[in-house]
């Protein structure tokens, strides 16, 4: 006891000295920063805006901390509100730049939105907002003008394919709530499917409603799809988990530098269904609160996790007020799921030479145990119980997706077809695809094969190392095989298959909105098919949740 007390008395002045040195370093560097800005303002050749220059400094500082710590000045508070609540005031539509005319185009008015109710359609080219010409405006600039106070009215002028004169619509903005569960349905006689797209305030109620409805329709198993879900409020993650696990279970706890940010979060209600078999779908874009739900269900052996390794965001942010009506979203702690592991994958404090954040190698991660004794690891997101490899898209598919020619084809198809087959059943015929290929031929569409760049690099290296001449014939033969024009590449079976899916999804969105696109994509979804196989095999499902015997 005397020894312990002696250590305490010795530690106090050492700690005080460290605090004093730390505070001095802060004061010194703030004084340096303040003086540099004053000299810049006094001597720099041009007059500088204080708001702009200081914001540069703030952003540069925060960018070196982590990508989740962000300053929102007063004029950026709407963005913060939308991110945290999923709400904004506007017309409810997806827009994209149409490069051919240097204007923004409506890609999809959301179902039951002010835009859809006013008569705006996908493919409408925005000509003017309240009489102001929108030519040359970016999507960000147009988006800002389309948004405004709920209840405010404006005039939107558009150009529509097949209509000679521009159309003008009077639209009243209103609060738009992005749905957390845009689609759910039975996928067969016994399995219900829920597409859980985002975490916003109250999203657990939407998931609950979907589960109840599916069970009433006869669901005896569930697929919860959180692929692409970027996460959100931590409390909603606890509430969603509570739908499937008993009361009193620790779901997540947080640890930070300050005791005030340390917290433990338990389920507080009776579950909706604690035994129904479940498969949770995840991918590399499943992050934050979505990882808490999937990780907790894995740690508690409550569901089979299937898909790709998740993003690996194990950091928690709080919103802090700053002077002059701004806010700082700041990382205050790390979170840990029931097994005790933190799944943070990126080290933002020690960057790679190229400025990217390094990841924790598997060899340096630690083993933890689920409630039933299965081994899981920290430091790299949630590794699924059943790993599915992602499909890689050929270059030409991506280039078609972002091109004007795809928009032109979809606009023309929708203009010529008043209706199509139901979502999930619609397909383009070979004749339809041939018309698309012809349209590409007649357009200015170009793309550059990435293999050409790789071949040139390989040839340069071979010449540099004086071995090109020996392999010249092989180089030329390989280059010959890699050659091909746009039409040839469009007709390659794999390319054709993927481009048809792309066009079909875009066409379906014109008739059945977001929910229709989800239905269409599920038709060929290999992850969903694998999930259904697992749920249909009781023994397989049970074995996946049991520890692996040595």
Selecting among 93, 113, 288, 333, the annotated active-site residue is: 288
Q: Which residue has the tokens 């020996």?
A: 470
Selecting among 299, 404, 506, 527, the annotated active-site residue is: 299
DSSP 393: P
User: Active site includes 299?
Assistant: yes
Maximum Cα interatomic distance, the chain, rounded to a whole number of Å:
93
Tokens of 48: 């500088």
Interatomic CA distance for residues 390 and 306, integer angstroms: 12
Secondary structure of residue 250 in the 3-state scheme:
strand
Sign of CA dihedral 149, 153, 159, 160: positive
- What lies within 8 Å, CB to CB, of 278 at 6+ separation is 221, 222, 223, 224, 244, 297, 302, 303, 304
- Helical residues (DSSP H) of 380-471, grouped into ranges: 395-401, 404-416, 430-442, 450-464
Q: Which residue has the tokens 């702690």?
A: 333
Radius of gyration of the chain from its Cα atoms, rounded to whole angstroms: 28
SS3 per residue for 477-531:
HHHHHHCCCHHHHHHCHHHHHHHHHHHHHHHHHHHHHHHHHHHHHHCCCHHHHHH
| C-beta separation of 271 from 249 below 8 A | no
Selecting among 159, 313, 329, 383, the annotated active-site residue is: 313
| C-beta separation of 500 from 410 below 8 A | no
Tokens of 546: 């049991």
Interatomic CA distance for residues 252 and 267, integer angstroms: 10
DSSP string covering 454-482, please?
A: HHHHHHHHHHHTT-TGGGHHHHHHHHHHH
- Residues with active-site annotation: 288, 299, 313
């Amino acid at each position: 006891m005397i020894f312990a007390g002696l250590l305490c008395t010795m530690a106090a002045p050492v700690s005080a000295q460290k605090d004093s040195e730390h505070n001095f370093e802060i004061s010194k560097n703030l004084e340096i920063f303040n003086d540099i800005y004053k000299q810049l303002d006094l001597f720099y050749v041009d007059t500088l805006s204080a708001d702009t220059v200081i914001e540069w400094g703030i952003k540069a500082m925060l960018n070196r901390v982590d990508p989740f710590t962000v300053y929102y000045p007063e004029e950026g508070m709407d963005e913060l509100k939308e991110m945290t609540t999923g709400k904004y005031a506007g017309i409810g539509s997806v827009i994209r730049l149409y490069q051919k005319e240097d204007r923004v185009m409506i890609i999809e008015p959301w179902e039951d939105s002010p835009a859809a109710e006013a008569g705006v359609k996908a493919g409408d080219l925005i000509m003017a907002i309240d009489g102001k010409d929108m030519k040359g405006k970016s999507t960000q600039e147009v988006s800002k003008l389309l948004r405004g106070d709920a209840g405010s009215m404006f005039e939107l002028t558009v150009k529509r394919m097949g209509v000679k004169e521009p159309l003008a619509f009077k639209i009243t903005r209103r609060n738009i709530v992005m749905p957390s569960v845009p689609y759910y349905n039975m996928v067969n006689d016994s399995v219900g499917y829920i597409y859980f797209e985002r975490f916003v305030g109250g999203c657990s109620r939407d998931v609950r409603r979907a589960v109840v409805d599916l069970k009433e329709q006869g669901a005896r198993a569930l697929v919860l799809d959180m692929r692409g879900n970027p996460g959100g409020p931590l409390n909603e993650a606890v509430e969603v988990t509570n739908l499937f696990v008993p009361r009193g279970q620790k779901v997540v706890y947080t640890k930070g530098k300050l005791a005030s940010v340390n917290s433990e979060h338990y389920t507080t209600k009776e579950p909706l269904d604690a035994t129904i078999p479940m498969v949770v779908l995840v991918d590399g874009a499943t992050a934050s609160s979505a990882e808490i739900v999937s990780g907790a269900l894995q740690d508690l052996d409550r569901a089979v996790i299937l898909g790709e390794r998740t993003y690996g965001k194990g950091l928690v942010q709080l919103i802090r007020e700053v002077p002059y009506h701004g806010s700082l979203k700041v990382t205050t702690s790390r979170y840990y799921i029931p097994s005790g592991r933190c799944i943070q994958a990126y080290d933002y404090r020690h960057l790679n030479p190229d400025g990217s954040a390094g990841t924790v190698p598997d060899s340096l991660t630690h083993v933890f145990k689920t409630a039933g004794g299965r081994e899981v690891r920290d430091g790299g997101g949630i590794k699924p119980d059943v790993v599915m490899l992602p499909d890689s898209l050929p270059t030409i598919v991506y280039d078609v997706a972002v091109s004007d020619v795809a928009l032109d084809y979809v606009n023309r198809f929708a203009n010529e077809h008043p209706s199509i087959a139901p979502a999930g059943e619609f397909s383009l015929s070979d004749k339809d695809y041939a018309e698309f290929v012809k349209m590409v031929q007649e357009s200015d569409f170009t793309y550059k094969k990435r293999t050409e760049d790789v071949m040139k690099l390989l040839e340069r290296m071979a010449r540099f190392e004086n071995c090109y001449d020996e392999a010249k014939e092989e180089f030329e033969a390989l280059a010959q095989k890699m050659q091909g024009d746009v039409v040839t590449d469009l007709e390659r079976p794999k390319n054709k298959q993927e481009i048809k899916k792309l066009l079909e999804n875009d066409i379906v969105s014109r008739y059945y909105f977001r929910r229709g696109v989800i239905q269409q994509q599920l038709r060929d979804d290999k992850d969903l098919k694998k999930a259904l196989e697992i749920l249909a095999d009781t023994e397989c499902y049970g074995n996946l949740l049991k520890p692996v015997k040595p």
